[in-house]
Amino acid sequence: MTMAAKQQRTEEILTAAPVVPVMVIESVAHAVPLARALVAGGLPVLEITLRTEAALDAIRAILADVDGAIVGAGTVMNPAQLHQVAKLGCAFAVSPGSTPALLTAAEEVEMPLLPGGVTASEVMALLDHGYRFQKFFPAEPAGGTATLSSLASPIPQVKFCPTGGITPALAPSYLKLANVITLGGSWMVPKALVAAGDWAGIERLAREAAGLK
């Protein structure tokens, strides 16, 4: 797949919903019912972060058993992880930043990568590699909407998925920016509801997030 085709696929994925749930799954037993609740609530694009021992098995389970889920792997830090999640069948991968090794590995797989860029130099460097879509992380600590709107003027060809510290109250101010295509958040998957198996509660939160504009 060419870089242009990968970017087109990235755009299709990121426009599927206004919010991408960022999931830290501690137990494989939670993976399928959690994903089903999010998809049922209107959030089909799921980022399962590689921050837990259960992450890879959770990805396998969701890919096998959750219809309509567009499964991505988050916190992909190195080429080995990128190749691993590509082989699993993930639709996309997300990295908080980028390294030369990771970008080289991304050229070797069919799966698109959403790398992170925050400063103008980082964003420009990724754009030189063809990345019109980038993660903006950590969004709130990095200046939030003020920083993003400042980047829009000199680098309008890049659109972002801001993630990090975004709440339901802050989300609309991000989504109205011309250079924000979607955003990442974890408020619809609170640990207490996951631990309690309150999938109906999570579906309700997902539905509210899916209605954000």
Q: Which of 11, 26, 108, 135 is catalytic?
A: 135
Average pLDDT along the chain: 98
Best CA proximity match to 132, nearest among 2, 10, 1: 10
CA dihedral 175, 58, 36, 163 (to 10 degrees): -10
Using CA atoms, how far apart are residues 174 and 162, in angstroms rounded to an integer? 8
**47 catalytic residue (yes or no):** yes
Give this prediction's pTM.
0.97
122 carries an active-site annotation: no
Residues 116 and 125: beta-carbon distance below 8 Å: no
Tell me the pLDDT tens digit for each residue of 59-108. 999 999 999 999 999 999 999 999 999 999 999 999 999 999 999 999 99
Give tens-digit pLDDT for 9-53.
Answer: 999 999 999 999 999 999 999 999 999 999 999 999 999 999 999
Catalytic position from the list 6, 47, 159, 203: 47
Alpha helices in the chain (DSSP H): 3-14, 28-40, 55-65, 79-88, 100-106, 120-128, 144-152, 171-175, 191-196, 199-210
Percent of the chain at pLDDT above 70?
Answer: 100
Would you state the pLDDT for residue 40?
A: 98
Give the number of other Cβ atoms within 10 Å of residue 33's Cβ: 15
Please give the pLDDT value at position 115.
98
Please give the pLDDT value at position 88. Answer: 97
For range 143-163, the mean pLDDT = 98
